Amino acid sequence: MAGSCRHLCAILALCIFVQTCGQQTSCGAANKTDAVAIVYVFNQQNWVDRLQEVEGKMKLERTNDIVSLAKDIDACLANPCHTKATCSDNPAPALNATCICYPGYIGDGLAKGDGCSGVWLTKKMSWVVNSTGPSYVSSNKGVTYVAATALDGDDRTSWWAVTERYHNNWYIVLDLEVPTTLTRIAAFKLLKSQVGSPYDWENVVTVTDVETGAGRREFGGFEGTARYWRFVVTKTPSGWQPWLTELNFYGLLSGANVALGKTAFQTSNHSGTASLAVDGITTTDYSSGSCTHTVLEGEANPAWWVDLGELYVVSRVVIFNRQDCCAKRLNPFNIHIGDSPQVTMNPRCGGDIQINVSQPAISVSCQGMKGRYVGVRLPGDSRVLTLCEVQVVPDYSKMWKKLGCWEDRFDRAIPSMEGTDHRLDGSYSSRFDPIMKCYIVAKDRGYKVFAVQHSGQCFSSATAADNYIGYE
């Protein structure tokens, strides 16, 4: 009998402790809700006693309706999800939660599982747009040690700038082509700029305790999002210019959040502008300066929306809510998706949505709705809208139409794009989500048709739409 009692408690995940089964009870658990303490007790007949304190009085209920009992438990309270994942309590009879990694992260989302992580980005030599120079030229080897060699993936080459001793602050400026979130680097000082030349540099991280000598050095503990980056070697022990073999970046997958850096609007402004919800910063403290805010006195049906620039099929929308104060202000809210810039005229994704105010973010499934504009609206009078970040995750698999399969010949109708873009570098057999990346590169170039072979090898061109049926 003791084993069955323990098994029942384990299934319901209600027990804080397990004790030997006696005549009356097998185990108990406490759940603290708003001003209500509830104790559940399982007896030998598999009935459930619920002893509930309401306004100082104890009330005893007995039920064998395990499903309705489970509704009282929010599985997210146990923090089962990774810190970079949303947590959604699954409705009864399920007794667990769903964890989904934030856009750009990969993993199972579980705190005690694989969690959520970024990836080491595939580098491209063309990212380098400027550097301290001139570069050293070897007279006997005929080799120029340019900055781009630090991104060629070859540890036998290196960057070597020609400068006087104690020049210090040797730099490389990079254009990553799209706004990219970085969280780790093999570097010394890293700055970012949201705009191109003239740049507006912001310091992201500075490392001063770098071990001297050869070998790989990795530095993390930061997160920044921008298209333009400036890597700086502030000084060297000898005072002479550094020999930099390779520069590596660890960050989030690009294309996972299509709202990042796009143009945003809101119905009014208190002190937090609309663009702050698409700046890539997911901090949920308003004092950090990265959350939006409509007028403080409130208004009827305040709204925020982003122009994605083109139509997307939307898989889900992730919203980061303010946590330092006023988290309940967001409830309830609506999400609108469509092609009208009058965003509230667009269809709604779901109805009135409620966020768990104890959680920093919510992931809302929109099941393939289409639109160029994605908006958040608070229905009702005297509402104040604050958003710390809004991420829009596309469903790329629904944004293309399969035309069929054709014979492959040596003289191909569609040329390969392998290696022509940093998203298509390396081996396609080990590339993460290779079909999606092939589609994005082709779309970015304005190509109408793309092809994939061997589950990843990418082909496309400006004339692919005319030539793909060449070998029927």
Contact 298, 384 (CB under 8 A): yes
Q: How large is the average pLDDT for residues 355-362? A: 91
The token duo for 447 is: 């190509």
- Please check whether residues 218 and 283 belong to one and the same domain: no
Structural domains of the chain, count: 5
| Closest C-alpha to 62, from 75, 82, 47, 72 | 47
The pLDDT of residue 402: 82
Helix (H), strand (E), coil (C) string for 285-298: CHHHCCCCECCCCC
Q: How far apart are CA 15 and CA 323, in angstroms?
A: 29
Examine the pLDDT at 114 and tell me if it is beyond 80: yes
How would residue 61 be classed by pLDDT, with cut points 50, 70 and 90?
low
Residue scoring higher pLDDT (318 or 412)? 318
Give the chain's mean pLDDT: 80
**Bridge partners for 231 per DSSP:** 172, 190
Q: Is residue 222 part of a domain?
A: yes
- Please check whether residues 200 and 156 belong to one and the same domain: yes
The pLDDT of residue 472: 53
Q: Is residue 342 part of a domain?
A: yes
H helix or E strand, kind and range, residue 236: none
Residue-wise pLDDT for 446-471, tens only, equals: 898 999 988 789 999 999 888 887 65
The DSSP code for 152 is: S
Residue scoring higher pLDDT (24 or 440)? 440
Residue-wise pLDDT for 234-245, tens only, equals: 888 888 888 888
The pLDDT of residue 55: 52
Q: Is residue 256 part of a domain?
A: no
The pLDDT of residue 159: 92
Q: Is residue 42 part of a domain?
A: yes
- Please check whether residues 34 and 10 belong to one and the same domain: yes
| Closest C-alpha to 257, from 102, 421, 432 | 102
The DSSP code for 4 is: H
The pLDDT of residue 1: 29
The pLDDT of residue 213: 60
Among 16-25, 164-173, 379-388, 419-428, the range scoring the smallest mean pLDDT is: 16-25
Examine the pLDDT at 224 and tell me if it is beyond 70: yes
CATH of the domain at 157: 2.60.120.260
- Please check whether residues 82 and 139 belong to one and the same domain: no
Among 54-58, 357-361, 385-389, the range scoring the smallest mean pLDDT is: 54-58
- Please check whether residues 294 and 372 belong to one and the same domain: yes
Q: Quick one: what percent of the chain has pLDDT higher than 70? A: 81
Query: Which of 251, 285, 303 is the last residue in one of the domains?
Result: 251
- Please check whether residues 408 and 467 belong to one and the same domain: yes
The pLDDT of residue 34: 32
Q: How far apart are CA 391 and CA 258, in angstroms?
A: 7
Residues listed for the chain: 472
84 three-class SS? coil
Q: How large is the average pLDDT for residues 420-436? A: 82
Residue keyed to tokens 């929308």 = 317
Q: How far apart are CA 189 and CA 208, in angstroms?
A: 8
Contact 460, 417 (CB under 8 A): yes
Q: How large is the average pLDDT for residues 205-225? A: 75
- Please check whether residues 433 and 448 belong to one and the same domain: yes
- Please check whether residues 244 and 310 belong to one and the same domain: no
- Please check whether residues 199 and 178 belong to one and the same domain: yes
Contact 160, 243 (CB under 8 A): yes
Examine the pLDDT at 273 and tell me if it is beyond 90: yes
Query: Which of 398, 418, 437 is the last residue in one of the domains?
Result: 398
Whether the ω angle into residue 434 lies within 30 degrees of 0, i.e. cis, is no
The gap from C-alpha 198 to its chain's centroid, in whole angstroms, comes to 29
- Please check whether residues 394 and 405 belong to one and the same domain: no
- Please check whether residues 369 and 242 belong to one and the same domain: no
Residue scoring higher pLDDT (247 or 26)? 247
- Please check whether residues 279 and 207 belong to one and the same domain: no
The pLDDT of residue 71: 47
Q: Which amino acid is at 322?
A: R
The pLDDT of residue 115: 92
Q: How far apart are CA 457 and CA 447, in angstroms?
A: 17
Query: Which of 375, 398, 421 is the last residue in one of the domains?
Result: 398
Within 10 Å of residue 368's Cβ, how many Cβ atoms? 13
Residue-wise pLDDT for 378-422, tens only, equals: 999 999 999 999 999 998 878 888 888 877 677 788 899 998 887
Whether the ω angle into residue 242 lies within 30 degrees of 0, i.e. cis, is no
The domain in which residue 162 lies consists of 125-251
